[in-house]
């Protein structure tokens, strides 16, 4: 669905709430690990993941506020609609590691 309906059902609201909680918990845990990790490459990767979850949080909040919003623009997510080069690069890196 490309547009948010004027009225969100209770089921949709519950799902949005769950999605917010999942992303918020991941955001908090990643923040903790960023403080603990010493390796620069790992820290950089964790920061990318933290930013991805933060983008998702802002997206969910804007949907609930019924603000004008754009599609998720995070560089790290592998959303089905995402056609950016960064997501393709991530897929290639994962293939190389295997």
Confidence of residue 8 (pLDDT cuts 50, 70, 90): confident
Q: What is the pLDDT of residue 7?
A: 80
Q: 């969910």: which residue's tokens?
A: 60
Distance CA 13, CA 66 (A): 13
Q: Is residue 93 part of a domain?
A: no
Domain membership of residue 29 as a residue range: 10-73
Q: Is residue 33 part of a domain?
A: yes
Q: Is residue 98 part of a domain?
A: no
Q: What is the pLDDT of residue 52?
A: 96
Distance CA 49, CA 54 (A): 9
H or E element, residue 81: none
pTM confidence score: 0.61
Q: DSSP letters of 15-55?
A: HHHHHHHHHHHHHHHHHHHHHH---HHHHHHHHHHHHHHHH
């Amino acid at each position: 669905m490309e547009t948010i309906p004027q009225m969100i059902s209770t089921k949709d609201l519950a799902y949005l709430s769950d999605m917010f909680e999942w992303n918020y918990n991941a955001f908090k845990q990643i923040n903790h690990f960023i403080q603990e990790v010493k390796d620069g490459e790992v820290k950089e990767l964790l920061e990318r993941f933290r930013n991805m979850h933060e983008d998702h949080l802002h997206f969910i909040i804007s949907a609930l506020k019924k603000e004008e919003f754009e599609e998720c623009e995070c560089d790290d997510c592998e959303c089905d609609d995402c056609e950016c080069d960064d997501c393709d690069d991530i897929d290639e890196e994962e293939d190389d590691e295997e």
